[in-house]
Amino acid sequence: MAEGTTTTATVTATEDPPRSGAVRRPALSPSRASDFKQCPLLYRFRAVDRLPEVPTKAQVRGTLVHSVLERLFALPQGERVPERAVAMLEPTWRELLAECPEWTELFSDEDGDAEQAMSTWLGGAAKLLDGYFGLEDPNRLDPEACELHVETELSSGVVLRGYIDRLDVAPTGEIRVVDYKTGAAPREIGEAKAMFQMKFYAVVLWRLRGIVPRQLKLMYLSDGQALAYTPDEGELVRFERTLEAIWQAILRAGKTGDFRPNPSKLCGWCSHQALCPSFGGTPPEYPGWPEPDPGEESVLDRAD
């Protein structure tokens, strides 16, 4: 621990998945915290108004690839080979469509054969899996968990909640947090958001287990690149304070509905420009602070 730094004890901590139908306390997730940092009005649209957003094909493909990689690690070591992963694509896609049938509409406006367009799209997912196998051999790994739900409450009362793509724990107890990236955001923007997300998870795990993760690893499957970072305890203390400040700012805005837009080059990817004052729009009437939980992440959030 850095000299002169003090830490506070966690009030509650859990790695259990949420119970179905349980009413949970408002919490901060990495995706929603990132939204508020980027644009408070975007946070409101997603977490308070909960406006629908049509996912992009790239987002849905990321969800598919994440699901396949989770299933890949459920196979015995020695069977985690590229052919098995690619063979999982179509059945996994069918299961995702059963949960989100509206995703088929992503291909309905294609010129020509929608089925052929979907097949080409699945081929793109196969290339991302090839990119993964170019980065590491999963047969040499024994993850403690994939798609791990984590939640902890800081001494300040802020509840942190999220899902970790993969958690590796060495026999010596050292922890590595792994996150797969398949999205199409510009790298300089994507890496900044991704590292914010990884530090968020590092704080949660540190408070849950009392161990600072040894490595935070981002794996960019589209270009076969990896970025590794080693945090220290003093840094996590400072980042924890940042998260507490973000949550307090959210609560202040939540009382009045004063979620202001923050125009930037990221506006080009926003689905809500028609409702944004920065683009001549008018937000819907403020519905008040949501219940039960504005910190919930969607399956698409987990596959950023």
We report the CATH number of the domain holding residue 245 as 3.90.320
Q: Domain boundary at 107, 140, 173, which?
A: 140
Q: Domain boundary at 78, 106, 140, which?
A: 140
Residue 4 domain-assigned (yes or no) = no
Considering its fold, how many domains does the chain have in total? 2
Whether residue 258 is found in the same domain as residue 220: yes
Whether residue 173 is found in the same domain as residue 112: no
Whether residue 119 is found in the same domain as residue 198: no
Whether residue 169 is found in the same domain as residue 275: yes
Residue 269 has what pLDDT? 87
Residue 7 has what pLDDT? 32
Residue 260 domain-assigned (yes or no) = yes
Distance CA 130, CA 134 (A): 6
CA nearest to 269, candidates 214, 198, 193: 193
Residue 301 has what pLDDT? 58
Distance CA 248, CA 28 (A): 11
The pLDDT tens digits for 164-223 are 999 999 999 999 999 999 964 456 666 778 889 999 999 999 999 999 999 999 999 998
pLDDT-above-70 percentage for the chain: 83
Residue type at 45 in one-letter notation: F
Q: Are 204 and 197 spatial neighbours (Cβ–Cβ below 8 Å)?
A: no
Q: Are 65 and 182 spatial neighbours (Cβ–Cβ below 8 Å)?
A: yes
Residue 1 domain-assigned (yes or no) = no
**Cβ count within 10 A of residue 41:** 26
Mark 81-98 as b/e (b = at least 16 C-beta within 10 Å).
eeeebbebbeebbeebee
Whether residue 151 is found in the same domain as residue 136: no
Q: Are 214 and 229 spatial neighbours (Cβ–Cβ below 8 Å)?
A: no
Residue 167 domain-assigned (yes or no) = yes
Which regions of the chain are under pLDDT 70?
A: 1-24, 109-112, 183-190, 291-304
Distance CA 263, CA 156 (A): 31
Residue 126 domain-assigned (yes or no) = yes
Residue 2 domain-assigned (yes or no) = no
Residue 229 domain-assigned (yes or no) = yes
Whether residue 80 is found in the same domain as residue 224: no
Whether residue 113 is found in the same domain as residue 172: no
The range of the structural domain enclosing residue 127 comes to 57-140
Residue 15 has what pLDDT? 58
Whether residue 235 is found in the same domain as residue 111: no
Whether residue 45 is found in the same domain as residue 187: yes
Residue 16 has what pLDDT? 55
CA 113 to chain centre: 33
Whether residue 25 is found in the same domain as residue 153: yes
Residue 115 has what pLDDT? 84
Residue 1 has what pLDDT? 30
Whether residue 66 is found in the same domain as residue 188: no
Q: Domain boundary at 121, 140, 159, which?
A: 140
Residue 11 has what pLDDT? 32
Residue 267 domain-assigned (yes or no) = yes
Q: Are 43 and 36 spatial neighbours (Cβ–Cβ below 8 Å)?
A: yes
Whether residue 239 is found in the same domain as residue 260: yes
CA nearest to 65, candidates 193, 150, 175, 166: 166
